[in-house]
Structure 1
C-alpha cells in the first residue's frame, strides 16, 4: 500500500514533509497530535490551523423540525437560530487543491448562535467513522505515517500499524470521492452525544448532515481537471444566488450500541429523526480573516445536549486549543 495513498486519508499530507520532530515525553497527547500534524503538513504554516487549514465560511439559519423538541430541550431545537458554517479540507496545508486526495475527509463546523449570546457547535467530517478509538492510537497512526516517510522497512511503520488496527485499515480503504460541491457532500458526526428533552427523557445519537440537493460526486476524470479552489469558490457563488440546504438528522442508538467508540458505525436500521433544516444564504466577507480567530468546539454545548464518554470526543477541544493558540500567535 503506497504511503501517499495512506496519507491522503489520514488528515495529513506527505507533499511537503519536513524532518520528523522529536517530541518530549511529558507533552500531552493532544499537543503531540498537533506537533505531528504540523510536521506532516510541512509546517508550521503561520496563522493557520494544524488540520483543516484551508476553509471558507458562510452564514444562514437553522430551522428546527416539529420533532426536534421531543429529542432535546436545547434552545436551537425550539426555534429558528442563526448559524455560522465553516467548510474545510483536511491537512494543515493552506493551499491544498480541493480535489487532491490528501484533502479528504472534508469538514463542516456549524455554530448555532443562541439568543442569550452563547453558542453551541457541531463539528463533523465527510466519513462515517474515525480511524481509531483513542487519541493515543490516533497519535500512533500519525506517527507511523510520519516515520514511514523515507523508510525502507518492509513492512513500513504505517503498514505495521494498519495490520494491527482493522478500523484504521477500513478507514484508509473506504472510497472518498471528490464532491461536485460542498452543497452535495454529506457529513457525519462520528461521536455520540446524549440528548435530554423537557420531560427528562434521554437518548444517545449521532448527527448526520444530508444535502437537500442529494449526494453528488465527480468522476475521477473530472476531479483530475478540477480547479484548485473549485469547492471554495463554488459554495460562495451558490449562497449568493440561492440557498444551500441540508437536513440535520440524528441517528439514535439502541440498547447495546457502542456510544463511546468513534470507530463503530451503527447499523442503518437504527431510527433516524429529522432535527431540522440548515439554510445557508450568505457568504462571510473576508472569510480568511474572519475564520482565524474562531475555534469551533464540539464540547461547546448547551442545556439539553451532553457529551458521551468517547475519548476521541473528549480530546478534540484540547488539541484544537493548542492549534488555536499557535494560530493566534502569528
Structure 2
C-alpha cells in the first residue's frame, strides 16, 4: 500500500516558524502536495460526485438523541469524494483513499445539518499539529536523499500514523457498496436528558462489496464517478446510519483510538439515495460541509481534530471561491 500522498512528485514545503494558524498551514501543505493550487477545487477531497435522497428515522434513534435530523424524515444531499487535492486523481489510485462521504440534512426554513465521514475507521493524528507534521514530513521526503527519509522518521515515532498509512484500503465496487465512518466522537442527548458519546457508522444495506486486488489495477480511473449515475438509473440504494456508543473509560477526544467492535451500536435510520445531481460540479463548489454544523441533541466532543476541521475547511472554501 502506497504511503499517504507519497507518490506525488511535489517539492518539499516546510514553513518553519510560520506565524500562520495551523489550520491554514494544513491547507497550504495539502495544496502543495496536490501540485496546486487548483482554482475552484477543495484542497483535499477535490474530486467528487453529488447525489440526493432522503433519511428515514429508526424507532431506536430516539433512545440516543432528540436531534431532529434523526427523529424525523428529511431530504438529503450527499457528496462522495476521493482523497487529496488532485482534481483528476484516478479512483483506484492508492492516494485516493480514504474516500469521503458528506451528508447535508435539509431542514425547514433553509436550515441544515451536516455529517462528514471517511471510508476507514481510523485517523493518523490526534491533533492538528501532529497531522501537519505528517503532511510536512511527506512533502519534505519528495526529493530527499536522506536515509531514513523524513516521513519514515515521522512514522517510526507515531504508531497511529504508521497504522493508518499501512492498513490496506480496499477498492469498492461502487460508492454505494462502501461503508463510511465518523472518526470523531459526538455527545448525543435524548429527550430525557440522558447523554452518551458515540461515533457514526454508515453501512450499505445490501452489504459492503469490494473489487479484487487483481481487478483493482485494471479498472478505469473514473469508474466510481461513472458507475454511480448508471446505478441510479436502475433504482435507489440504501445505507443504515448507526452510532457506536462509547463505554466508561473509552477515549472520546482522540480520533486515533479505535473502540472495540464489542461496543453497542444503535441504528439511527435509513439513508436512501435515489437521484444523481446533474449540477453537482457547480453545487459542490459553493457548498462547505462542516462536522460542526449541528442541531440540538448533538454536541461536539473536545477532540482537537474535530474542533479544527471547520477552520481548515473555511480556509479552503474561501480560496475555492476566489
TM-score by length of 2: 0.97
User: How far, CA to CA, are the matches of 1:13 and 1:158 in structure 2?
Assistant: 9
Partner of 1:20: 13
When structure 1 is superposed on structure 2, of 16-25 and 186-195 the one drifting more is: 16-25
Question: Secondary structure of 1:6's partner?
Answer: coil
List alignment gaps of at least 5 residues for structure 1.
none
1:121 Cα deviation from its structure 2 partner: 0.5
Partner of 2:179: 186
When structure 1 is superposed on structure 2, of 29-38 and 115-124 the one drifting more is: 115-124
User: How far, CA to CA, are the matches of 1:24 and 1:280 in structure 2?
Assistant: 47
Question: Secondary structure of 1:250's partner?
Answer: strand
Question: Aligned match of 1:58 in 51, 55, 60?
Answer: 51
2:3 is equivalent to residue 6 of structure 1? yes
Partner of 2:65: 72
Question: Secondary structure of 2:117's partner?
Answer: strand
List alignment gaps of at least 5 residues for structure 2.
none
When structure 1 is superposed on structure 2, of 217-226 and 120-129 the one drifting more is: 217-226
1:153 Cα deviation from its structure 2 partner: 0.8
Partner of 1:134: 127
> How large is the RMSD of aligned CA atoms in angstroms?
1.3
Partner of 1:225: 218
How many residue pairs align between the two structures?
Answer: 322
1:285 Cα deviation from its structure 2 partner: 1.6
* Residues 12-52 of structure 1, C-alpha deviations (whole Å, 9 max, x = no match): 46434246364661100000000000000000001000000
Partner of 1:174: 167
2:297 is equivalent to residue 304 of structure 1? yes
* Residues 145-172 of structure 1, C-alpha deviations (whole Å, 9 max, x = no match): 0000111111110011001100001101
When structure 1 is superposed on structure 2, of 220-229 and 196-205 the one drifting more is: 220-229
User: How far, CA to CA, are the matches of 2:9 and 2:284 in structure 1?
Assistant: 24
* Residues 77-110 of structure 1, C-alpha deviations (whole Å, 9 max, x = no match): 2221100000000000000110111100100000
2:259 is equivalent to residue 266 of structure 1? yes
1:236 Cα deviation from its structure 2 partner: 1.7
Retained in 1: the 8 A contact 2:11–2:143? no
Q: Given the superposition, is the C-alpha separation of residues 21 and 132 from structure 1 closer, same or farther in structure 2, using an over 3 Å criterion?
A: closer
Question: Secondary structure of 2:130's partner?
Answer: helix
2:113 is equivalent to residue 120 of structure 1? yes
Retained in 1: the 8 A contact 2:8–2:142? no
Question: Secondary structure of 2:108's partner?
Answer: coil
Retained in 2: the 8 A contact 1:106–1:125? yes
Partner of 2:33: 40
Question: Secondary structure of 2:110's partner?
Answer: coil
User: How far, CA to CA, are the matches of 2:110 and 2:39 in structure 1?
Assistant: 30
Would you identify which runs of 4 or more consecutive aligned residues in structure 1 move more than 6 Å?
none
Partner of 1:320: 313
Retained in 2: the 8 A contact 1:13–1:41? no
Q: Given the superposition, is the C-alpha separation of residues 162 and 13 from structure 1 closer, same or farther in structure 2, using an over 3 Å criterion?
A: closer
Partner of 1:247: 240
Retained in 2: the 8 A contact 1:133–1:311? yes
2:268 is equivalent to residue 289 of structure 1? no
* Residues 264-314 of structure 1, C-alpha deviations (whole Å, 9 max, x = no match): 000011000010000000011221111100000000000100000000000
Retained in 2: the 8 A contact 1:244–1:279? yes
